[in-house]
Chains A and B, each alone.
Chain A
Amino acid sequence: AQTVTQSQPEMSVQEAETVTLSCTYDTSENNYYLFWYKQPPSRQMILVIRQEAYKQQNATENRFSVNFQKAAKSFSLKISDSQLGDTAMYFCAFLNNAGNMLTFGGGTRLMVKP
């Protein structure tokens, strides 16, 4: 079974600054997929960024980028130029190779301060 760990329950960052959210995971699979989801106060989870484990290049999506270290089983999210609208819970998630089970970490509550 997979486990996903987010060691930072809460973080805060000043508007326009950069923040990095940590995520580690444990799996015996070699091929899998990793995601960061955002859950704003409205509750609906939204995909922020995804990474295929077989790709060495780190995924980037506008102000969001990841640092994927496969050997270390680490998948951190960097948010550049933080905006007030980035305030939310952020969940790291692992999708198994079969694609039928997405496992979430415990979440990191991010507060962007003006």
Chain B
Amino acid sequence: EPEVTQTPSHQVTQMGQEVILRCVPISNHLYFYWYRQILGQKVEFLVSFYNNEISEKSEIFDDQFSVERPDGSNFTLKIRSTKLEDSAMYFCASSGGVPKTGELFFGEGSRLTVL
């Protein structure tokens, strides 16, 4: 069964460093998302991406965040200068051509620890 895969599963970084989290969505999906979950807190929407551009973003998704689909298969989230409060689990998700009636398929997440 096709699934969303994310790498790395866990990354530890120093504050101020750049981090890139990678996701391979399901191959025929058209909509892509990033969510984050700070330990013990709710899952928060970061950004959605469709047709090679950002479709919607939350107030969390400020200038230090960016997304890219560089090669037609990967979907990346870059954090330019990490802060302690960026420590969280980051989930990638994708959905097919009709997200309203279809479900979002989530990856297993990438745990980011900022020291």
Q: Chain A residues in contact with chain B, CB under 8 A?
A: 33, 35, 37, 42-47, 50, 52, 91, 95, 97-107
Contacts and interface: CB of A to CB of B under 8 A. Distances in A.
Given A99-B99, A100-B48, A105 B104 contact: no
A91 B43 contact: yes
Q: How large is the interface on B (under 10, 10 to 19, 20 to 34, 35 or more residues)?
A: 20 to 34
B42 A104 contact: yes
B103 A100 contact: no
Given A45-B91, A100-B55, A100-B56, A33 B101 contact: yes
Contacts of B25: none
Contacts of B33: 102
Interface of B: 31, 33, 35, 41-45, 48, 50, 55-56, 58, 89, 91, 98-101, 103-104, 106-109
A43 B108 contact: yes
Contact of A44 (B41, B56, B106): B106
A45 B89 CA distance: 12
Contact of A43 (B48, B89, B101, B103): B89
14 contacts: A33-B100, A37-B106, A43-B109, A44-B108, A91-B42, A91-B43, A98-B56, A100-B31, A100-B50, A100-B55, A100-B99, A101-B45, A102-B45, A103-B45
